[in-house]
Every structure is written in C-alpha cells, then in structure tokens.
C-alpha cells in the first residue's frame, strides 16, 4: 500500500494473482510434505506478499498476519511458516535446486525470493562501491572548484557551498547520492564535476541516463545550458546524448535481461543518473551491478518525490543519511577552501551505512522558500496541510491558485481553468508558420507550457475523463479539415504518450508526440528528434499509447511545465499522499493551481508514503 496501511481482508485480497500464488504455494507445500497446521498460515502469507509487491512494497510484514490469526503470536506464525517447507530463514538461504519461494528475515519481513535476492545484491553492490575512495590532487582540484563555483561564493558569503562540497565528494568517492528539489543546483554540480574530471582526463568515458526518455532529454538539455560558461575545449568533451536506463543497459529479447551486467559491465568511467527516485528495486540492482567497480556512479533525485511505480523506494532509502565522517569533513574542507567547522550536514532521517556518500540540497534557485510554489512545497513536505489551505485561501501570490472544487464532477470554474490553460496551444495549432519545422517547434513549446496532472486514471476527475474533455474542445477549435476519416481518433493537435517501449521505432515509455500534418497534408505523429528536429511516425505504427492532455502525477515525473493544474479526487484516498502532492506541485516552474476540497488537501499532507523494505538492514549486513 502506498501509504503503508496493512493489507486486510476488507481490501482486494481476492486479487487473481495473489490467489493464484497462494494456490500454488499450497500445492507445493503438500508435495513437500508440509505439516497439517501450515497450509492456512502459508496461504495467507502468500496472498499478503503478493498483494504487498503489487502495491509497491518489497516485502510484507509478518505482524500484519496476526490479524488473520489472533490465536497466534508472531513467533508462532514464524515457526509455522518455516515448518511449511516453503519459507526459508534469511540467514539460511539454500542454494539451487532447493530454493524456496519465500524468505523470512529476523525482523519479520516476508519476501518473495527474487525480491530478497535483489535487495541483498543491491546492498552488496552499494556497500562495495561506497568503500572505494580515490586520491584527488588537492591543490589542482581546489583551484578548479574555486573557479567553477566563484559565483556561488559571492552569493553565499560565509555559508558553506553544498554544490561545491558535493562535487568534491563525488571526486573522492565512487558512489555519490545527491538529493534536492527542483532548481536546487544538481545540474550545476554535475557540470562542474564533469569539467574537473574531463580536464584531468579528456578521454574519460562518461554516460548520462534517466529512467524515461523525457527525463533523459531534459537532463541533456539542462547540462548544455549550464555548460555555456565552460571553456570551449571542455564543452566539446561533454556527453552529446543521454540514454534511458533500459537503452543504456541494453534490452534483450529475454524479459528482464540486459546485455550489460556484472559479468559484462558497461564500458564507462562515470555514470550520472537523473530522476533516480523513479528507480525500482530490480532496475536499481541491475544498474549498480552493470557499472564497473572503479567507475563513479552519481545518483541525482529528490528524496521527497514519489517512489517508483514498481516495488521499492530505493532512492529515498539510500539518501536518508547525509552523515559525513570527521575524516571526510577534513578532506572536503581542504578541497573546497571551506572551514571544517562550517561543514555540518543535517541530521539523518534514518541512519544508514552510506556515510560520506550522500548530500542534500535544500536551497532552490528556481523559487525561494518564501515564493508561492516554494512555500506551498515546504508546507506539504512538513505536513502542514491546514496551514497551507489557510494561506492559499488568502494569498495574492499569482504563482499559486486554489479551486476548492470537491464535487464528484467538475465545476464550471475548473472546466474553464482547463480550457484557459490550453488556449495558447490551440492558437499555436492554427498558426500556419511557413516553415514546417518552426511550426512544429512552436506547437511543442506551446503544449509544454501547461499540463493537467491527475492522481487517478478513472473517475470524472481522472486522466481519461480530462483527456476526453480537452480532446472535444480542441477538435471543435481546429475543425476536422485534417481528419483521417470520420470517427477517427486522430485529429490535428492530438498529443499522445507512448506507454510501451518500441526499440525498432526508437520510441520509449513516456515519449510525447503530437499529431500534425506532413507536407502532403497527411496526419502523422511527430516526435522530437536530434538537433531540434522532428521525426514522423504513422499513427497505425505506434506502440501502445494514450492521449496526453492529462497525465498521472507518476507519469509526469521527470517533466517540467510552466503551469500545472493538479486535480485531486473528490474524496480522501490512500493514493493521494504527501509525496504525490509535492511531486505534482513541483512539476510547475511558474504557476500551479490545485483543484481539491480542503479535506483532501489536509489529508494528503498527513498521509506519508511508507513502503515496506529491508534495504537499509541489508546494507548493514556483512558478506555477499
């Protein structure tokens, strides 16, 4: 469950997948000669684990089973499960072919075997990488960092420059985790670090990557903009493309397998991964194992954002402890010309063994904490829902708006706000610039200025309903002069989001295309290409896709829009969490409008996402 609420018999325990898994467990247990008291407990455990992983958890909690068996203590349930011959204690994991489907650790976490293996492998990879240290040339690096962060020194005065400190930390180590909200300087830090690395070794093999194509493109674009002040010879050495993680690792025909792994590592010396909060456990494990042991791995993200759609909350866990040891502080002080007494990281959320690897950026350069979006984001993260509502109701700050529309359907004011948001896009569609490429660029720019973000896909306040509403409005505006045929879903200006990777067409989950005519007047779906160009794809050839006037907050991760209308459900819902609200609000760079009743806003701020996991426990273990 996204909010960490225990699964119960009143929730969808009859889920087909969970019931099927429980049925298989019982068959296997019977064949293995399990004692008669084991099947009921085993079946409940199987359902619980299956439902937990579907809800984004890595494991289930043994304590949650007690409500199904009130006559049993957690210890008795543990003994029963271990006796079923389908569950292995974590410290006694057998080898093939005697592997059992479930693992129970000493803290009462119950895992599917593969998720426990992922967690243990990822922990081992992170531990080994965190232990590796380089020997930076102190004087040379200090001079470079002083030059690269000179502007910061004038702005900060006596305050420590955490961007500069993070660059030095990444130089000395092989694992660096940088967490910060939008506009806090993560890209600036990456550019400075790359400048230092490439100045020392112009042949350094550097890769940029992100979980989605949109996030990868934004990362590359941001890096190019920030690198404008570097010497031309260094600009020429910067990476010229950014990859999706799946493309970087090399997808193979076998599901879940990649061409690059521990036995065939990536041919790189440094990897920078943006939007790392979107990493699920399985992908994070495979990524870390594919990076050569001596290569630098820099993970960039926002610990306060939504976690991955799949199981795990890897980034929030590994970035939970920004502790710096005394020895590290002494070295950073020498490398950055910062008095050691001023290098004081914030206290950990949860202590982890990743000391000297984590930095938090808290100062936003996009919007100050006193600005509308900055203040709203800060209130959300602090759980101050009532205070946020009171402020929204009375503020004159034009960067934020609130429509307290809690109706089951949408009120007229909300519908009008959506139509107004897409007005510049509609106008761009009907403006016929003589140069087709320029026209397409203008249409895409207008489309990216505004987006409706929803918490859910269904209901009158969900993605499907909003897409239908805006589609009808746009078709009425542009007419049907370019319609392929009557009743066709394709019309001038229809934006679509790709939902499934297609490596032949080089289209990836999250890519956005817009339906526009080609030179012959035929409607094609145009996607941004290399060097600010566009490439057309016939609608019939597209992989699975959906209209994209509205999208879920999850799908919007890695994106940025000038203006966002964030539409929440009419009733409190466990899906609407603090992290979802914060992520939606911070997709906006200039203005955000919340559409929700007061009760659901207050509830969302109080409802934190908690995912069951044992990654931090695995990090503290020794051995493989």
Q: Using CA atoms, how far apart are residues 552 and 80, in angstroms rounded to an integer?
A: 42
Q: Using CA atoms, how far apart are residues 107 and 90, in angstroms rounded to an integer?
A: 10
Three-class secondary structure of residue 377 per DSSP: helix
Q: CB of 452 within 8 A of CB of 466?
A: yes
Provide the percentage of residues in the chain whose pLDDT is more than 70: 92
Stronger pLDDT, 437 or 283, i.e. the higher one: 283
Q: Which long-range contacts (CB under 8 A, 24 or more apart) does 404-408 make?
A: 404/596, 404/597, 404/598, 405/595, 405/596, 405/597, 406/570, 406/596, 406/597, 406/598, 406/599, 406/600, 407/570, 408/460, 408/570
Residue 1: band (very low, low, confident or very high) from pLDDT cuts 50, 70, 90: very low
- pLDDT of residue 624 exceeding 70, the answer is no
Q: CB of 538 within 8 A of CB of 566?
A: no
- Does the annotation flag 157 for ligand binding? no
- Does the annotation flag 182 for ligand binding? yes
Phi-psi region at 81: left, alpha or beta (left = phi > 0; alpha = psi -120 to 50): alpha
Stronger pLDDT, 38 or 163, i.e. the higher one: 163
- pLDDT of residue 367 exceeding 80, the answer is no
Quick: pLDDT tens for 472-525. 888 888 775 554 444 578 889 999 999 887 878 888 778 899 999 888 888 999
Stronger pLDDT, 182 or 356, i.e. the higher one: 356
Structure tokens at 347: 């206290």
- Does the annotation flag 372 for ligand binding? no
Return the number of other C-beta atoms located less than 10 Å from residue 521's C-beta: 8
Global pTM reads: 0.86
Mean per-residue pLDDT over the chain, rounded = 85
Q: Using CA atoms, how far apart are residues 193 and 577, in angstroms rounded to an integer?
A: 35
- Does the annotation flag 614 for ligand binding? no
- Does the annotation flag 184 for ligand binding? yes
pLDDT number for residue 92: 63
Omega before residue 97 within 30° of 0, cis: yes
Q: CB of 106 within 8 A of CB of 90?
A: yes
- pLDDT of residue 10 exceeding 60, the answer is no
Quick: pLDDT tens for 518-564. 888 889 999 987 666 888 999 999 999 999 999 999 888 878 899 99
Quick: pLDDT tens for 121-170. 999 999 999 988 876 667 788 888 888 888 877 777 778 889 999 999 99
pLDDT number for residue 215: 83
Cα four-point dihedral sign 447, 508, 521, 547: negative
Q: Using CA atoms, how far apart are residues 112 and 123, in angstroms rounded to an integer?
A: 17
pLDDT number for residue 6: 37
- Does the annotation flag 489 for ligand binding? no
pLDDT number for residue 546: 92
Bridge partner residues of 513 (DSSP): 496
- Does the annotation flag 183 for ligand binding? yes
Provide the b/e sequence for 430-442 (b: ≥16 CB within 10 Å): eeeeeeeeebbbb
Across 423-443, average pLDDT = 86
pLDDT number for residue 530: 62
- pLDDT of residue 337 exceeding 60, the answer is yes
DSSP state of 94: P
- Does the annotation flag 350 for ligand binding? no
Phi-psi region at 464: left, alpha or beta (left = phi > 0; alpha = psi -120 to 50): alpha
Q: Using CA atoms, how far apart are residues 147 and 153, in angstroms rounded to an integer?
A: 10
Cα four-point dihedral sign 543, 546, 548, 549: positive
pLDDT number for residue 297: 96
pLDDT number for residue 43: 81
Q: Of 17-31, 100-114, 120-134, 204-218, where does mean pLDDT reach its minimum?
A: 17-31
Residue whose C-alpha is closest to residue 550's, from 415, 408, 382: 415
Stronger pLDDT, 348 or 28, i.e. the higher one: 348
DSSP, residue by residue, 177-221:
EEEE-TTSSHHHHHHHHHHHHHHH-TT--EEEEESSHHHHHHHHH
Residue 185: band (very low, low, confident or very high) from pLDDT cuts 50, 70, 90: confident
pLDDT number for residue 20: 80
Quick: pLDDT tens for 434-449. 888 888 889 999 999 9
Across 71-94, average pLDDT = 80
């Amino acid at each position: 469950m996204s909010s960490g609420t225990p699964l119960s018999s009143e929730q969808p325990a009859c889920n087909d997948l969970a019931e099927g898994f429980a049925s298989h467990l019982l068959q296997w247990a019977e064949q293995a000669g399990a004692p008669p008291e084991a099947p009921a407990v085993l079946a409940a455990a199987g359902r619980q684990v299956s439902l937990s992983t579907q809800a984004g958890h890595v494991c289930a909690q043994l304590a949650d089973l007690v409500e199904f068996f009130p006559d049993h203590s957690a210890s008795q349930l543990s003994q029963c499960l271990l006796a079923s011959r389908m569950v292995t204690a974590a410290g006694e994991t057998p080898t093939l072919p005697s592997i059992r489907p479930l693992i129970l650790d000493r803290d009462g976490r119950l895992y599917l075997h593969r998720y426990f293996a992922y967690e243990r492998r990822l922990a081992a990879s992170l531990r080994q990488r965190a232990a590796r240290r380089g020997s930076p040339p102190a004087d040379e690096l200090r001079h470079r960092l002083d030059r690269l962060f000179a502007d910061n020194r004038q702005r900060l005065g006596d305050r420590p420059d955490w961007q500069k400190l993070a660059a030095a930390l990444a130089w000395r180590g092989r694992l660096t985790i940088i967490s910060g909200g939008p506009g806090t300087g993560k890209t600036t830090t990456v550019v400075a670090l790359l400048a230092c690395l490439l100045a020392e070794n112009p042949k350094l093999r550097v890769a940029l990557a992100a979980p989605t194509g949109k996030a990868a493109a934004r990362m590359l674009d941001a890096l190019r903009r920030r690198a404008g002040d570097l010497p031309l010879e260094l600009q020429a050495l910067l990476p010229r493309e950014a990859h999706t993680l799946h493309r970087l690792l090399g997808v193979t025909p076998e599901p879940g397998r990649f061409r690059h792994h521990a036995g065939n590592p990536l041919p790189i010396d440094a990897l920078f991964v943006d939007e790392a909060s979107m990493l699920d456990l399985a992908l994070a494990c495979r990524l870390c194992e594919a990076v050569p042991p001596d290569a630098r791995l820099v993970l960039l993200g926002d610990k306060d954002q939504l976690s991955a759609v799949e199981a795990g909350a890897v980034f929030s866990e590994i970035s939970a402890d920004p502790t710096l040891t005394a020895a590290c502080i002494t070295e950073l002080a020498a490398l950055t010309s910062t008095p050691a007494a001023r290098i004081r990281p914030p206290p950990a959320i949860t202590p982890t063994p990743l000391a000297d690897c984590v930095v938090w950026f808290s100062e936003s350069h996009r919007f100050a904490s006193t600005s509308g979006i900055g203040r709203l984001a800060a209130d959300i993260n602090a759980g101050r829902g009532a205070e946020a509502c009171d402020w929204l109701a009375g503020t004159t700050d034009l960067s934020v708006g609130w429509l307290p529309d809690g109706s089951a359907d949408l009120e007229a004011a909300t519908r009008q706000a959506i139509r107004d948001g897409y007005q510049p896009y509609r106008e761009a569609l009907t403006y016929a610039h003589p140069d087709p490429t320029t026209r397409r660029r203008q249409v895409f720019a207008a489309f990216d200025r505004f987006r409706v973000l929803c918490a859910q896909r269904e209901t009158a306040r969900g993605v499907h309903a909003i897409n239908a509403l805006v589609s009808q409005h746009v078709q009425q505006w542009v007419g049907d002069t370019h319609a392929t045929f009557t009743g066709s879903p394709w019309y001038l200006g229809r934006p679509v989001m790709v939902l499934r990777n297609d490596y032949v067409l080089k289209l990836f989950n999250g890519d956005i295309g817009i339906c526009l005519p080609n030179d012959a007047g035929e409607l094609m779906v145009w996607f941004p290409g290399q060097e600010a160009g566009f490439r057309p794809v016939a609608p019939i050839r597209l992989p699975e896709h959906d209209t994209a006037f509205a999208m879920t907050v999850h799908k919007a991760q890695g994106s940025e829009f000038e203006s966002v209308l964030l539409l929440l459900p009419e009733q409190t819902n466990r899906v609407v969490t603090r992290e979802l609200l914060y992520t939606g609000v911070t997709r906006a760079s200039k203005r955000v409008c919340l559409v929700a009743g007061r009760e659901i806003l207050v509830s969302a701020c109080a409802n934190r996402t908690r995912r069951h996991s044992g990654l931090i426990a695995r990090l503290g273990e020794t051995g493989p």
